[in-house]
Amino acid sequence: MNAADNTPKRSALDAQDIGAHLHPYTNLAAHEDVGPLMITRGDGIHVIDEQGRKYIEGMSALWCSSLGFSHPRLVQAGIDALKTLPYYHTFNHRSNPAIAQLADRLIQLAPAPMAKVFFANSGSEANDTAIKIIWYYHNAIGKPAKKKILSRQRGYHGVTVAAASLTGLPANHQDFDLPIARIGHVECPHHYRYANPGESEADFATRLADALEQRILQEGPDTVAAFIAEPVMGAGGVIVPPETYFEKIQAVLRKYEVLMVADEVICGFGRTGQMFGSHTFGIQPDILTCAKALSSGYVPISAVMVAPKIYEAMAANSGKIGTFGHGYTYSGHPVAAAVALETLKVYEDEQILAHVNQLSPLFQGRLRGYLDRAYVGEVRGVGMIGAIELVADEATRQPFDPALKLGYRLAQYAQEAGLIVRAMGDAVALCPPLIITEAEMAEMFARLDRALDKLQATLP
Ligand code: PMP
């Protein structure tokens, strides 16, 4: 912002940030010039910066803040929990009331029968835990060779060593010496980009399922343990699976006894119009990971749900060894648990799913309206998540030269217009707080219109 505004003087805070803060997912060298967008407050669907500028958070920050940035019930739940029991752990049979209730509630909400819930602090930790459970389970059932995990190109599953290996994006591997062994990637189900000319969504899905089967046969079915997928790919570009995709993929997985892991870190808790993306796309996961909207992003918490057959083998094995040797200091943190439990109650009390289903046709309709504009190649989305992708040539789908950084520029212009969106290559994503009203949505799109007008004025 500072660079764009030519602001000559930096605040003391900005100077401290530039001086000492090593930022995640940031061009580190550029940060020294660009400086931080210092967000100091949140209010409903808005965040407010140091200078008092107010932005519509069109991304729910990092796909998290489904109830916005100032929900009084979540704040109160946090305060009450801090006053009562600010910390305790859950190792060695310890528990706390909120985490017991939260686990029970998650089992009720799950899209497939689940036995137990393990808690962690982030999506990455949840997926890392899922990998460890997959390995532990296969050792427990006497299949120690069945350990490989297949993920997808452009899938996003986090950044810890193992989760980053699952992630199928080059920046997460390059120069980090990743992926680790026993993790492989299969095709990305993006019909617009990867389907053959004239290939229907269903035919494309069949081809991807066949390719998955070939890959399993090539690896050796006795070595492939699990397949992990986001119901809708988020950070990889908001990619909605083609028709019949998960049905066909799961048929292959069942044939070779490969576990299905649903990464619901973005899709969970209403984003796609049902409680989980697995409901929307007919996924029957053996393991489900979730985070983000579990607490509306107010406190760090994530969860891993495991199906009964997995839990039973784990329990038997840990009984032999003496303990299940995995857990985080903050697994089941009582403050995080209380806020998450309250978040789930608010979803119910405020009928968030009904609200999403009422407003999502408008949201998706407005997005699809952008197809009438020049250079908009594809619009995609479901529920309250979507993206528009810019292309140099709509007929041939030819992308722009990446050096033009069009997605990034569009996001910058949106920010100048008071709207935060996320650039992913030449696509920009929208994932607004689920509590957004019709009037706020109109304002959000009015700002995006202004940003697009400005960008398009710079193109031939
Ligand atoms: N899985 C998905 C689908 C995600 O979108 C993310 C985060 N964007 C993660 C996992 C990793 O979560 P975290 O950043 O909390 O580690």
Please report whether residue 13 resides in a domain: no
Of the three residues 318, 349, 380, the one that is the final residue of a domain is: 349
> What pLDDT score does 5 carry?
54
> What pLDDT score does 1 carry?
44
- Please indicate, yes or no, whether residues 233 and 112 belong to a single structural domain of this protein: yes
- CA triple 324-325-326, angle to 5 deg: 100
Q: Is the Cβ–Cβ distance between 57 and 45 less than 8 Å? A: yes
- Please indicate, yes or no, whether residues 220 and 357 belong to a single structural domain of this protein: no
Please report whether residue 339 resides in a domain: yes
Q: Is the CB of residue 122 below 6 angstroms from any atom belonging to ligand 1?
A: yes
- Please indicate, yes or no, whether residues 359 and 412 belong to a single structural domain of this protein: yes
| Cα 145 to ligand 1 centroid, rounded to whole Å | 28
At 349-408, the pLDDT tens digits run 999 999 999 999 999 999 999 999 999 999 999 999 999 999 999 999 999 999 999 999
CA distance linking residue 165 with residue 159, whole number of Å: 8
- Please indicate, yes or no, whether residues 323 and 379 belong to a single structural domain of this protein: no
Please report whether residue 20 resides in a domain: no
Q: Is the CB of residue 293 below 6 angstroms from any atom belonging to ligand 1?
A: no
Which whole number is the average pLDDT over 114-136? 98
Question: What is the signed CA dihedral for 144, 213, 230, 409, rounded to 10 degrees?
Answer: 120
Of the three residues 349, 373, 404, the one that is the final residue of a domain is: 349
Number of domains comprising the chain: 2
Which whole number is the average pLDDT over 93-114? 98
Which whole number is the average pLDDT over 235-254? 98
- Please indicate, yes or no, whether residues 423 and 306 belong to a single structural domain of this protein: no
- Please indicate, yes or no, whether residues 336 and 383 belong to a single structural domain of this protein: no
Please say if the pLDDT value at position 78 is more than 70. yes
Please say if the pLDDT value at position 3 is more than 80. no
- Please indicate, yes or no, whether residues 55 and 95 belong to a single structural domain of this protein: no
Q: Is the CB of residue 64 below 6 angstroms from any atom belonging to ligand 1?
A: no
Please report whether residue 23 resides in a domain: no
| Cα 265 to ligand 1 centroid, rounded to whole Å | 6
- Please indicate, yes or no, whether residues 333 and 424 belong to a single structural domain of this protein: no
- Please indicate, yes or no, whether residues 394 and 318 belong to a single structural domain of this protein: no
Please report whether residue 382 resides in a domain: yes
Ligand 1 atom nearest 302 alpha carbon = 15
| Residue 247: CATH number of its domain | 3.40.640.10
- Per-residue confidence at 329, pLDDT binned at 50, 70, 90? very high
| Cα 431 to ligand 1 centroid, rounded to whole Å | 14
| Cα 285 to ligand 1 centroid, rounded to whole Å | 18
Which whole number is the average pLDDT over 146-172? 98
Which whole number is the average pLDDT over 72-83? 98
pTM comes to 0.97
Instruction: Determine the 3-state secondary structure of 257 from DSSP.
Output: coil
Ligand 1 atom nearest 62 alpha carbon = 8
Instruction: Determine the 3-state secondary structure of 394 from DSSP.
Output: coil
Please report whether residue 411 resides in a domain: yes
Of 103, 137, 86, whose CA–CA distance to 330 is shortest? Answer: 86
- Please indicate, yes or no, whether residues 427 and 330 belong to a single structural domain of this protein: no
Q: Which of 66, 152, 157 to mutate to test the pocket of ligand 1 (most atoms within 8 A of CB)?
A: 157
Q: Which domain holds residue 392?
A: 37-70+351-457
Percent of the chain with pLDDT over 70: 98
Of the three residues 326, 349, 372, the one that is the final residue of a domain is: 349
Percent of the chain with pLDDT over 90: 97
φ/ψ (deg, to 5) at 413:
-65, -35
- Please indicate, yes or no, whether residues 399 and 325 belong to a single structural domain of this protein: no
With a threshold of 0.95, tell me whether the complex ipTM lies above it. yes
Q: Is the CB of residue 301 below 6 angstroms from any atom belonging to ligand 1?
A: no
At 264-315, the pLDDT tens digits run 999 999 999 999 999 999 999 999 999 999 999 999 999 999 999 999 999 9
Q: Is the CB of residue 158 below 6 angstroms from any atom belonging to ligand 1?
A: yes
Please report whether residue 1 resides in a domain: no
DSSP for 434-456 reads: TT--HHHHHHHHHHHHHHHHHHH
Q: Which of 62, 165, 265 to mutate to test the pocket of ligand 1 (most atoms within 8 A of CB)?
A: 265
Please report whether residue 127 resides in a domain: yes
Q: Is the CB of residue 157 below 6 angstroms from any atom belonging to ligand 1?
A: yes
Q: Which of 64, 127, 156, 296 to mutate to test the pocket of ligand 1 (most atoms within 8 A of CB)?
A: 156
| Residue 376: CATH number of its domain | 3.90.1150.10
- Please indicate, yes or no, whether residues 328 and 374 belong to a single structural domain of this protein: no
At 204-222, the pLDDT tens digits run 999 999 999 999 999 999 9
